[in-house]
Amino acid sequence: MSRIGKLPIKVPSNVQVEFDEQIIHISGPHGKLFRKISDLISVSLNDNLIIVTKANNTRIANQLYGLTRTLINNMVIGVSQRFERTLQLQGVGYRAQILNKNLVLNLGYSHPISISIPEGIEITVEKNVVLIIRGFDKELVGQLAATIRSKRPPEPYKGKGILYKGEIIKRKVGKSGK
């Protein structure tokens, strides 16, 4: 049995939870999210606690049990507090700026890279090299951070590229000259 799935989810006072058959709607001060829940899982709300239970004891229900609880918990945290990812640009001439709801990155290529910022996501640029991505949907924040990082992943020889905050790149030794 899933140890994660059986934990109840505490709902803050500023978050509203509604059920519409197998769709859960969660709204809070930062936004609104909804998710369709499998028929193998049932969700109930009792005294500001969301409780996730399995409808039957099959293998697929066991797999979805902890996943569903974690997804609902991320939705509650997102609409009440928001999620944040920080990226750092390391390299000579690497910089970022925001122009007209687009993130423009100069990463050493012959052209700047433009990435459109989706709805519900807020990006702030500090000192031209630190990107802070905030949003209420954890999946969308993480995907946008991964997309930005994929434009110039860190390389192990000089350590240049786009890194997550606190990420350590294991450096390699270059060729030795004779």
User: Domain with 63 in it: what CATH number?
Assistant: 3.90.930.12
Let me know: does 72 contact 50? Beta carbons within 8 Å. Answer: yes
The reply to whether 91 falls in a domain is yes
The reply to whether 76 falls in a domain is yes
What is the pLDDT, as a whole number, of residue 5?
A: 83
Let me know: does 17 contact 8? Beta carbons within 8 Å. Answer: no
What is the pLDDT, as a whole number, of residue 91?
A: 87
Q: Could you list the residue range(s) of the whole structural domain that residue 70 is in?
A: 9-80
- Reported confidence tier of residue 1, pLDDT bands at 50, 70, 90: low
The reply to whether 147 falls in a domain is yes
The reply to whether 131 falls in a domain is yes
DSSP letters for 3-21? TTTTSPEEPPTT-EEEEET
The whole-number average pLDDT for the span 131-144 is 95
The rounded mean pLDDT for the chain is: 91
Output DSSP code: residue 143: H
The reply to whether 37 falls in a domain is yes
The reply to whether 178 falls in a domain is no
Q: 24 and 41 share a domain?
A: yes
The whole-number average pLDDT for the span 7-22 is 90
Q: 134 and 63 share a domain?
A: no
Segment among 3-17, 82-96, 115-129 with least mean pLDDT: 3-17
Let me know: does 128 contact 134? Beta carbons within 8 Å. Answer: no
pLDDT of residue 21 exceeding 80, the answer is yes
Burial class (CB in 10 A: 0-12, 13-18, 19+), 14: exposed
The reply to whether 175 falls in a domain is no
Q: 63 and 95 share a domain?
A: no
Q: How many domains does the chain have?
A: 2
d(CA 105, CA 126): 13
Domain boundary among 80, 100, 120: 80
Q: 158 and 98 share a domain?
A: yes
The reply to whether 134 falls in a domain is yes
The percentage of residues in the chain with a pLDDT greater than 90, rounded to a whole number, is 68
- Reported confidence tier of residue 97, pLDDT bands at 50, 70, 90: very high
